[in-house]
């Protein structure tokens, strides 16, 4: 096994890091404080291919390998986790299911506009009574003459406030609601589609998370993704890919907090010397560095499984579980190293600390990841 990054991965990291530090970093404090989505940054990202990372080149995408994809998300999240969240949700659970399950007609119709960032993608599964219980969807779609009428409400939709296209899970078999859900591609200009208020969140404040409402929302049959009743299959496959993105996002948050802590430890003077000279601080930094490296290896292993065409669900779950946990632990230590300053909104580590927590919740909570992993362990022959 080669642990040295190849040239294309080094180049990808360099390009995205330069973009994030030049374009994102000057705005990130105001974006968080104002809970403002940075459309001006999105315009600059579109020609760079960030919105088509997992879309084949035949449809206008970048078609990069999964490690390159993870590097892009990590480097964006190292500066702004909210922008990293927008890009990973758009690519992984917004566009990738169409790549995987869409017809040729659907791919030609939807993927180019997603790849160019002309429409931002969203993934609509969570409801008031359906989150970790993916089979508990209550939104329903009823056949009419030439398609379906969708009625229901989705909550906590990442990119919800700015999405141009959403994958919506709705029950199409009322006699078998837990296994009779289907997935529909719904464009934001469809009559009956509306956006609720933007959530006032603890972290990821620059991402417009909202509810989405569907009231007699008519969707033509050609917008059905896969076959009727394949919703759970499509959803679980999408979440496997999404967990790679969230792991990369969590890793980027941790990396940013770690680097800020190293700089601060070298500069901050106490008792006549930099606090980096104290063994406690050195131990903190050693633990942070070790956890980040371990998480990155788990993440890249999941990416390698995916690109090799092997089942990668348990590997993605392990990467997501560990990286989200390490993001919380590393950002907690970062605040501790900064002391009182770490609790001030003037310092990046306070924002990293708030942003880290939700990575243990979305795309499947840590408890769900443990369930996925344990099922794989118990399914192996003894």
For 277-304, give one letter per residue: b (16+ CB within 10 A) or e.
eeeebeebbeebeebbeebbebbbbbbb
Kindly list the domain boundaries of the chain, sorted by start residue.
Answer: 7-115, 121-229, 232-379
74 is catalytic: no
**Fold entry, domain 232-379:** Butyryl-CoA Dehydrogenase, subunit A; domain 3 (1.20.140)
pTM of the model: 0.95
pLDDT at 382: 75
Q: Which of 75, 127, 360, 363 is catalytic?
A: 363
Residue 363 and residue 235 in contact, taking contact as beta carbons nearer than 8 Å: no
Task: Check pLDDT > 80 for residue 194.
Answer: yes
Parallel, antiparallel, or unpaired for β 140-143 and 181-187? Answer: unpaired
pLDDT at 2: 62
Mean pLDDT calculated for residue range 309-316: 96
Neighbours of 185 (CB within 10 A): 23
* pLDDT single digits (tens) 40-78: 999 999 999 999 999 999 999 999 999 999 999 999 999
Superfamily of domain 7-115: Acyl-CoA dehydrogenase/oxidase, N-terminal domain (1.10.540.10)
* pLDDT single digits (tens) 78-121: 999 999 999 999 999 999 999 999 999 999 999 999 999 999 99
* pLDDT single digits (tens) 323-362: 999 999 999 999 999 999 999 999 999 999 999 999 999 9
**Fold entry, domain 121-229:** Butyryl-CoA Dehydrogenase, subunit A; domain 2 (2.40.110)
pLDDT at 178: 79
Q: Which residues contact residue 50 at a Cβ distance below 8 angstroms, ignoring those fewer than 6 apart?
A: 72, 76, 87, 117
pLDDT at 1: 54
Chain centroid to CA 364:
11
Take residue 328 and report the two structure tokens written for it: 């919380």
pLDDT at 135: 80
């Amino acid at each position: 096994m080669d642990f040295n990054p190849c040239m294309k991965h080094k180049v990808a990291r360099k390009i995205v890091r330069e973009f994030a530090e030049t374009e994102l970093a000057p705005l990130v404090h105001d974006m968080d404080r104002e809970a403002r989505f940075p459309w001006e940054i999105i315009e600059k990202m579109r020609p760079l291919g960030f919105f088509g990372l997992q879309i084949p080149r035949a449809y206008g995408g970048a078609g990069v390998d999964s490690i390159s994809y993870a590097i892009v998300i990590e480097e964006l999240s190292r500066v702004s986790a909210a922008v990293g969240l927008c890009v990973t949700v758009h690519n992984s659970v917004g566009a990738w299911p169409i790549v995987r399950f869409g017809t040729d007609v659907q791919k030609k119709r939807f993927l180019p506009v997603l790849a160019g960032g002309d429409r931002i993608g969203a993934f609509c599964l969570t409801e008031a009574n359906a989150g970790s219980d993916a089979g508990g969807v209550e939104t329903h779609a009823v056949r009419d003459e030439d398609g379906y009428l969708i009625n229901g409400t989705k909550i906590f939709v990442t990119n919800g406030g700015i999405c141009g296209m959403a994958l919506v899970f709705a029950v199409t078999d009322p006699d078998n609601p837990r296994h009779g859900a289907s997935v529909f591609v719904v464009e934001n200009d469809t009559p009956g589609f509306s956006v609720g208020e933007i959530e006032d969140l603890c972290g990821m404040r620059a991402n417009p998370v909202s509810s989405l409402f569907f009231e007699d929302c008519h969707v033509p049959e050609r917008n059905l993704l896969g076959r009727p009743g394949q919703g759970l299959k499509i959803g679980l496959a999408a979440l496997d890919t999404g967990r790679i993105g969230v792991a990369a996002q969590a890793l980027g948050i941790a990396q940013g907090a770690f680097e800020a802590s190293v700089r601060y430890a070298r500069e901050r003077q106490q008792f006549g010397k930099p606090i980096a000279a104290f063994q406690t601080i050195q131990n903190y930094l050693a633990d942070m560095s070790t956890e980040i490296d371990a998480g990155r290896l788990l993440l890249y292993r999941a990416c390698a499984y995916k690109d090799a065409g092997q089942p990668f669900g348990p590997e993605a779950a392990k990467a997501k579980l560990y990286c989200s946990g390490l993001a919380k632990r590393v950002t907690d230590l970062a605040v501790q190293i900064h002391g009182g300053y770490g609790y001030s909104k003037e310092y990046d580590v306070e924002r990293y600390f708030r942003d880290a927590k939700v990575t243990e919740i979305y795309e499947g909570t840590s408890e769900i990841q443990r369930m996925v992993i344990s099922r794989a362990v118990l399914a192996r022959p003894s």
